[in-house]
Each structure stands twice: as structure tokens, then as C-alpha cells.
Amino acid sequence: MLAIIGGTGLTKLANLNISRRQVVRTPYGDPSGALTFGEINGNEVVFLARHGYGHTLSPHEINYRANLWALAQQKLAGIVSVASVGGIRADLAPGKLIVPEQIIDYTWGRKHTYFEGTDKPVTHVDFTQPFSVPLREMILSSSKELNDPVLDGGVYACTQGPRLETAAEIRRLESDGADMVGMTGMPEACLARELGVPYAMLAVVANWAAGKNDSTQEIHLRAANEVVAEALQKVHRILECMSGVCTV
Ligand code: HPA
């Protein structure tokens, strides 16, 4: 079964036929909400709204450990994270979809590991490739099957938020090698790795990052809404296609 974590703009899945909701308690506290089980085109999926179903949790307030733990208790083929980002690279205009390949983590103070406490052995998970290679491939091939290929690759920078970045911070991220910027990819990706669950991201460009293109004076999110809505329609189609493949 495929798990989907929906970010900003994706608090529910329009094409999901809901069968049940399950409140899961974890040793790490409560997830952002109940897990929503249902079917897309007859294939079972489980959905979780990262910011809560009322979109009330800021990126730094999300209990990532509880979210990932709750999902990992299910029989999963993998987790697809749908996350909104600001575009840094010149071709990452609002409305574009991209499957990042790498991450740079700028967050701080978040509960970012399961391996802590004197009762757990010191463990260093490998994170050379932060996203599952086969799951990335599945997103990419589904988009190709739909004759609507999404962009492949790129570096996702994860900032702390909830404020957006300054133009100088974006220049710094760019010189670090970042192509896009978001606030929720970490520690989510790393916790999935610690739990051994394949995880990949489908990023939706919601705006130009600070200082870029039409965001030189301030970030224009409103103007981007229409293209983002259209991009989210594509996300739905890709997930529909993927749910048919991830039936394990
Ligand atoms: N910065 C950080 N996170 C984001 C942005 C941004 O510009 N847009 C959407 N998520």
C-alpha cells in the first residue's frame, strides 16, 4: 500500500474513496491527525495531512516522529511526500513539479531521530541518497505514463521557518547548491530512513524563492495560486497512477 503525506494545498485527496480513519497513538506522541485509509481507483492507500486536517501546524510544530511512526506501523510499499517549495533554480517556476534527488538540512531544534536515549545503541543510518531510488523512479515513470513528465533531480534545502527566507539567505542556499527550498522535508526523510521505509518527494513549486524573478521585493504566493491548483491536479493523477503500481 502507498502512503501519502500531503503538505500545503493537499489536506485531502479528491480522488480518495475513504473507507476508515484511524487514530494512532505512538511512543512519540500524537501524529498530525488520524490516518485516512481509502482507495484510489480500487487500490488501497493511506493519507496523512502533514499540517493537520485544518492546516494548523507550522513546519516546526509538526510531530514528525509520530507521523512517520504511525505510518510505518502499516504495511507500506513506500511513502510519497507531497511538499510545496519555493523555486530557486531558473527553470523552477511556480506550478512546476519536481522529484528532488538530494537534501541539505538547515533546520534546528526539531526532534529528528529515533536513536536517542541510553536504552538505544548509537546508530548512524546511511543517508547518501536521502530518497528511495526505486520510489523516485516510480513517481517519474508514472508521470511519463501520463504524458506529463515532471522534473527529475535537484537539491531540496530545508529551512526552519515558519518565516520565509531573506533574499540573501536564498543566495546563500543557491551557492550551497540548492535548487528549491521548503520547510518540511527534514527530519521527515531521515526518520523514514531510520524506520527503513522507502520515501520520496514530489515537490510542487508554489512561488519563486525570495529575491528571485517576481519575488525581488516580496514573495508572491497569491499570483501563483492558479498554477499551483493546476499542478495539484497533476499530483492527483500521478498518485492515482502510482497507487496501481504500489499494491504490495
Ligand atoms: N521557502 C520555504 N518554504 C517554502 C517556500 C519558500 O519560498 N515556498 C513554499 N514552501
SS (H, E, C) 27-43: CCECCCCCEEEEEECCE
**Contact (CB, 8 A) for 37 and 46:** yes
**DSSP-assigned beta bridge partners for residue 181:** 86, 157
Residue with cell 530518497: 131
Residue 225 pLDDT: 79
All cell numbers assigned to 152: 527529475
Query: 104 pLDDT exceeds 80?
Result: yes
**Residue type, position 73, single letter:** Q
Query: 228 pLDDT exceeds 90?
Result: no
Residue 77 to residue 162: CA distance in whole angstroms = 31
Residue 199 pLDDT: 98
Residue 10 to residue 73: CA distance in whole angstroms = 23
All cell numbers assigned to 107: 533546520
- Whose CA is closest to 170, among 88, 60, 101? 88
Residue with cell 540548492: 178
**In a 10 Å sphere around its CB, with 0-12 CB exposed, 13-18 middle and 19+ buried, how is residue 2 labelled?**
buried
Q: Ligand 1, residues 50, 85, 227, 228: which to mutate, most atoms within 8 A of Cβ? A: 85
Ligand 1 centre distance from Cα of residue 221 (Å): 10
Average pLDDT (152-157) is 98
- Whose CA is closest to 127, among 214, 196, 173, 64? 196
Question: Other C-beta atoms within 10 Å of 7: how many?
Answer: 26
Buried b (16+ CB within 10 A) or exposed e, 138-147: bbbebbeeee
| Superfamily of domain 2-243 in the CATH hierarchy | Nucleoside phosphorylase domain (3.40.50.1580)
Query: 223 pLDDT exceeds 80?
Result: no
Residue 244 pLDDT: 76
- The answer, yes or no, to whether any atom of ligand 1 lies below 6 A from the CB of 215, is no
Which distant-in-sequence residues (6+ apart) come within 8 Å of 57 by Cβ? 32, 50, 51
**Contact (CB, 8 A) for 94 and 206:** yes
Q: Which residue has the higher pLDDT, 11 or 183?
A: 183
Average pLDDT (132-150) is 93
In which band, very low, low, confident or very high, does the pLDDT at 15 lie, cut at 50, 70 and 90? confident
In which band, very low, low, confident or very high, does the pLDDT at 14 lie, cut at 50, 70 and 90? confident
Residue 193 pLDDT: 98
Q: Whose CA is nearest to atom 7 of ligand 1?
A: 86
Percentage of residues in the chain with pLDDT exceeding 70? 98
Q: Whose CA is nearest to atom 3 of ligand 1?
A: 182
Residue 53 to residue 29: CA distance in whole angstroms = 17
Taking only the tens place, the pLDDT of each residue in 26-82 is 999 999 999 999 998 888 999 999 999 888 899 999 999 999 999 999 999 999 999
All cell numbers assigned to 16: 480518495
pTM confidence score:
0.95
Ligand 1 centre distance from Cα of residue 112 (Å): 20
Ligand 1 centre distance from Cα of residue 6 (Å): 15
